[in-house]
Amino acid sequence: MRGNVVDLAVAVVIGAAFTNIVNSVVKGIINPLVGAFGTQNLDSYSSCLKGPCSGSGDSATGVRILWGSVLGATLSFVITAAVVYFLMVLPMSKYLARQEARRKAKEGTMEVVEISELEVLKEIRDALIAQRGSGHDRE
């Protein structure tokens, strides 16, 4: 139980540090790429649902849908999920599959050895029974 708690704590710390990396990638690479087609800040993308929309912050009027911030958060999530999957989950599942295959291969060889030992013991038993049978006939 303690090992699992330590593993979980390490995962939380690494996840927090990794979140900073992903946010930096989104702000430093993704936002400038989006900025080539519009504004560099994804948070500035919005649509006016009920107008007139003017101003920003507390002095804003109208009803704005801030879909740019949702897009930025979605990109951060997708990048984080992809990196976690391809760098952590996929290699670990392949490693565990290889370990399981090795374990099954070892069990298979042990079973073959046990079967062959059993056959040898049966042959010895049959030979002893045959010797006893032939020994009683001589007396």
- Encode 52-88: b = buried (16+ Cβ within 10 Å), e = exposed: ebeeeeeeeeeebeeebeeebeebbeebbeeeeeeee
pTM of the model: 0.53
Mean pLDDT of the residues in the chain: 78
Q: What confidence tens digit (pLDDT) does each residue in 113-138 have? A: 667 778 888 889 999 999 988 765 55
Q: What confidence tens digit (pLDDT) does each residue in 10-44 have? A: 788 887 888 888 778 877 887 777 777 776 677 77
Burial of residue 23 (CB within 10 Å: 0-12, 13-18, 19+) is: middle
Please compute, for residue 70, the number of CA atoms within 13 A of its CA located in the half-sphere on the CB side. 6
Main-chain dihedrals φ then ψ at residue 40, nearest 5 degrees:
-80, -25
* CA gap 135, 127 in Å, rounded: 12
Share of the chain above pLDDT 90, in %: 6
pLDDT above 50 (res 68): yes
